[in-house]
């Protein structure tokens, strides 16, 4: 099955979704977003990665910044921070360039490597878009972390790819229903910028009926 452009979801939403389904729904379905320090800093970092939109060539590598990508199969679109095209016999041809190249996505992240796979999922989704658009195969990509200044190599194996497919399917289902799922409050809530709007605590507290009756009966 393929999606129409109108149905596309934001690629970057996969990191929110992997972090917390509810957070994703608050941002992408309810469109509630509160800027906090972390996201603002994130934007600054991204701006510098996108600074010059034209391609530059360093040796045998073409560097493309801010490349828009999409996938009809996943029903998503987004922007890649950086895609490197490495000259390679087994690669694909690029419009207006001689030779053949292997695309390698590189995503810039503020902070340090995370324990979960949210960043890897986002990168993998980018790779899957590029594969679909350029009819190629991409084995690896890199996550660059601002805090540690290190590149982390990510292999796009079957497991990661399957998870990307599965998560976007779930996101499309929720989006279609326009439903914000409830989740159990977790440790993640502490680092979440949407706590004020989400109020995870509400799911631990009593029902409103019990609350009203409780207070009035005390009298």
Q: Does residue 194 interact with ligand SF4 by CB under 6 A? A: yes
- The token duo for 69 is 């990508």
**Which option in ligand SF4, other proteins, none does residue 90 bind, with CB closer than 5 to 8 A by kind?**
none
Site for other proteins, rule CB under 8 A? 29-32, 178, 180, 182, 196-197, 199, 201-203, 205, 207-209, 211-212, 215-216, 219
Output the CA–CA distances (angstroms, integers) from residue 79 to 3, 13, 38, 64, 207, in the order listed. 18, 12, 20, 11, 43
**Binding segment (CB under 6 A) for ligand SF4, from list 61-69, 160-168, 191-199, 208-216:** 191-199
Site track for ligand SF4 across 144-173, x = CB under 6 A: ------------------------------
- The total of other beta-carbon atoms located within 10 Å of residue 158's CB is 7
Task: Using alpha carbons, select from 63, 70, 85, 172 the residue that is nearest to residue 126.
Answer: 70
**Which option in other proteins, ligand SF4, none does residue 20 bind, with CB closer than 5 to 8 A by kind?**
ligand SF4
Measured distance between the N- and C-terminal CA atoms of the chain, rounded to whole angstroms = 61
Task: Using alpha carbons, select from 185, 191, 171, 85 the residue that is nearest to residue 122.
Answer: 171
Q: Which of 9, 11, 20, 164 binds ligand SF4 (CB under 6 A)?
A: 20
Strand 100-109 relative to strand 140-145: parallel, antiparallel, unpaired?
parallel
* Chain residues in the site for ligand SF4 (CB under 6 A): 20, 22-23, 26, 183, 185, 188-189, 192, 194-195, 198, 200
């Amino acid at each position: 099955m393929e999606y129409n452009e109108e149905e596309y979801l934001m690629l970057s939403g996969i990191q929110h979704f992997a972090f917390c389904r509810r957070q994703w729904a608050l941002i992408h379905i309810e469109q509630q977003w509160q800027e906090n320090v972390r996201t603002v800093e994130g934007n600054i970092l991204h701006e510098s990665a996108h600074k010059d939109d034209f391609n530059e060539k360093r040796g045998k590598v073409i560097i493309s910044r801010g490349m828009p990508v999409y996938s009809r199969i996943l029903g998503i679109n987004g922007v890649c921070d950086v895609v490197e095209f490495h000259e390679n016999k087994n690669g694909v041809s690029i419009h207006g360039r001689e030779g053949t190249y292997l695309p390698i996505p590189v995503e810039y992240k503020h902070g340090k490597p995370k324990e979960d796979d949210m960043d890897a999922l986002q990168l993998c989704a980018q790779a899957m878009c590029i594969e679909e658009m350029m009819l190629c195969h991409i084995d690896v990509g890199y996550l660059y972390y601002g805090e540690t200044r290190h590149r982390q190599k990510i292999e796009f194996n079957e497991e990661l790819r399957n998870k990307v497919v599965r998560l976007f399917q779930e996101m499309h289902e929720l989006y279609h229903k326009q439903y914000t799922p409830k989740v159990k409050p977790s440790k993640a809530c502490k680092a979440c910028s949407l706590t004020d709007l989400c109020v995870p605590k509400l799911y631990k507290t009593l029902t409103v009926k019990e609350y009203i009756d409780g207070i009035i009966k005390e009298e």
